[in-house]
């Protein structure tokens, strides 16, 4: 599977009316929709905003339509169930603003077989809705993958909720990345046990040095792990929703500013805190999120690296190390890891991932130097204090690293503990 949502293309098309587009659905509504019924629906019921297709299915809030010759009846039922589950969690319970027109009309959903991506949510304009009303497209090919299909439906529903919150007309350069990062996390909020989008985590973790708003290599989808951190141990529940609430009246502001204002955290502290938590397994739903690609740190070796704005390079430490980081160029970096105290050089326990994040300016270069160190421990008469560090080094060199006492660093911002998880260490060197 390859999540490829066309909503960013729709935003671009809406912002640039004269731009040539290959996918006409980005701008032009299919025939038959966007027409008010002759008789207005009663106050306690919805009607279809236009003429339904021969094949259609209505749920509580949606009308799902597909062309003749397409066998999408089962897929429509499952998509409809996922959309209604998303509505219950996000709108009814969490209080997200409903899409425009959904109080009177069913939200249009099309199941198609010729979409150049997995899904698309866009807006169309009528006299009744001059500021636009949302329409969702789902690529019926993916109905065969039941978990992905369900998560895809919620992902696109969240885009419809985003259109209700955010005026894309602001024209911010890095607009689309947070739409995708939010839609992916919304699918997890609706289906906490689903792992359908977990495969997108490396799209961040393997490219963590890219700028925070990058769309290269599908980085934006993997960035849902940032929202996961914000909503769990970083700030607290509904933080992502608060960011979108702040965005509703500020279309001219970029997402970095909106995240800072909604969280109360300076951008560098926000991203470096997230990076340390993500690199060290201190939050998530289970064992399925792979570790970020990391430099495997050896003693008495210097590592020269760089990262773009709010990007991070991760270093995995197999044995107790003393680490120093010296900046070479740029405006500012932040070094973070659990239990970190004092000034450089820092003692880093075996099995720790150190995150170095560009927190000032658009790019920074630095040198990291590491030296192996030991520590004394009272002889208890057993070897129970010796713990083999998880990760690739323990498998490669066969040596056991001794861990000191419990880490002092514990996320306390939300008043609850997030269990550390054991994730798959990739063992792959960081690639710039």
The pLDDT value given to residue 169? 66
Q: Taking phi first (over 0 means left), then psi (-120 to 50 degrees means alpha), and beta for anything else, what does residue 73 get? A: alpha
Contact 128, 36 (CB under 8 A): yes
Query: In the block, which residue shows the tokens 């905003």?
Result: 49
The pLDDT value given to residue 328? 96
**Better pLDDT: 69 or 415:** 69
Region of poorest pLDDT, from 36-45, 170-179, 214-223, 289-298: 36-45
- Cα–Cα nearest to 307, from 289, 329, 323, 290: 329
Q: What is the DSSP letter of 256?
A: H
Mean pLDDT over residues 408-413, rounded? 31
Cβ neighbours of residue 84 under 8 Å, at least 6 residues apart?
59, 60, 61, 62
Residue 34 pLDDT greater than 90, yes or no: no
**Better pLDDT: 167 or 250:** 250
Integer Cα distance of 346 and 381 in angstroms:
30
Split at pLDDT 50, 70, 90, the class of 279 is very high
Mean pLDDT of all residues in the chain? 86
Split at pLDDT 50, 70, 90, the class of 89 is very high
Which domains does the chain carry?
A: 1-165 (3.40.30), 294-397 (2.60.120)
Query: In the block, which residue shows the tokens 């760089």?
Result: 306
Region of poorest pLDDT, from 29-33, 35-39, 68-72, 240-244: 35-39
- Cα–Cα nearest to 301, from 354, 349, 369, 352: 369
Strand pairing class (294-297; 312-317): parallel
Mean pLDDT over residues 393-398, rounded? 30
Contact 297, 303 (CB under 8 A): yes
**Better pLDDT: 3 or 15:** 3
The pLDDT value given to residue 1? 64
The pLDDT value given to residue 415? 27
The pLDDT value given to residue 324? 97
Integer Cα distance of 304 and 379 in angstroms:
39
Half-sphere exposure (Cβ direction) of 65: Cα atoms closer than 13 Å = 20
Query: In the block, which residue shows the tokens 């009272």?
Result: 378
Q: How large a percentage of the chain has pLDDT more than 90?
A: 71
The pLDDT value given to residue 27? 86
């Amino acid at each position: 599977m390859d999540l490829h949502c066309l909503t960013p293309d729709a935003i671009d098309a809406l912002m640039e009316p004269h731009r040539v587009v290959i996918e006409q659905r980005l701008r032009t509504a299919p025939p038959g929709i966007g027409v008010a019924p002759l008789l207005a629906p009663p106050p306690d019921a919805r009607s279809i905003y236009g003429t339904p297709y021969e094949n259609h299915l209505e749920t509580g809030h949606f009308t799902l339509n597909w062309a003749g010759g397409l066998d999408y009846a089962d897929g429509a039922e499952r998509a409809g169930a996922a959309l209604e589950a998303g509505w219950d969690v996000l709108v009814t319970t969490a209080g997200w603003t409903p899409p425009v027109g959904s109080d009177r009309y069913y939200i249009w959903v099309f199941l198609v077989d010729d979409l150049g991506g997995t899904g698309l949510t866009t807006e169309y304009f009528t006299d009744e809705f001059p500021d636009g009303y949302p329409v969702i497209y789902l690529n019926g090919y993916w109905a065969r993958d039941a978990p992905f299909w369900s998560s895809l439906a919620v992902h696109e529903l969240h885009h419809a909720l985003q259109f209700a919150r955010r005026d894309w007309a602001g024209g911010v350069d890095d607009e689309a990345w947070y739409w995708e990062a939010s839609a992916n996390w919304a699918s997890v909020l609706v289906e906490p046990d689903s792992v359908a989008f977990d495969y997108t985590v490396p799209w961040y973790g393997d490219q963590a040095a890219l700028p925070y708003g990058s769309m290269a290599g599908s980085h934006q989808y993997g960035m849902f792990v940032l929202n996961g951190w914000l909503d769990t141990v970083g700030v607290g529940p509904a933080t992502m929703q608060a960011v979108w609430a702040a965005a509703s009246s500020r279309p001219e502001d970029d997402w970095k500013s909106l995240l800072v204002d909604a969280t109360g955290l300076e951008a560098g502290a926000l991203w470096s805190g997230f990076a340390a938590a993500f690199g060290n397994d201190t939050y998530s739903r289970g064992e399925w999120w792979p570790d970020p690609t990391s430099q495997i740190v050896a003693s008495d070796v210097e590592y020269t690296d760089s990262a773009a704005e709010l990007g991070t390079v991760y270093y995995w430490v197999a044995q107790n190390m003393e680490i120093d980081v010296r900046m070479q160029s740029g405006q500012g970096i932040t070094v973070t890891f659990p239990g970190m105290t004092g000034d450089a050089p820092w003692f880093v326990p075996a099995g720790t991932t150190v995150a170095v994040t560009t927190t000032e300016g658009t790019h920074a270069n630095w040198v990291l130097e590491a030296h192996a160190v030991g520590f004394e421990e009272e002889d208890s008469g057993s070897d129970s204090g010796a713990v083999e560090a998880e990760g690739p080094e323990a498998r490669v060199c066969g040596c056991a690293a001794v861990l000191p006492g419990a880490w002092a660093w514990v996320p306390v911002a939300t008043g609850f503990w997030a269990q550390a998880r054991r994730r798959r260490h990739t063992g792959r060197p960081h690639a710039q």
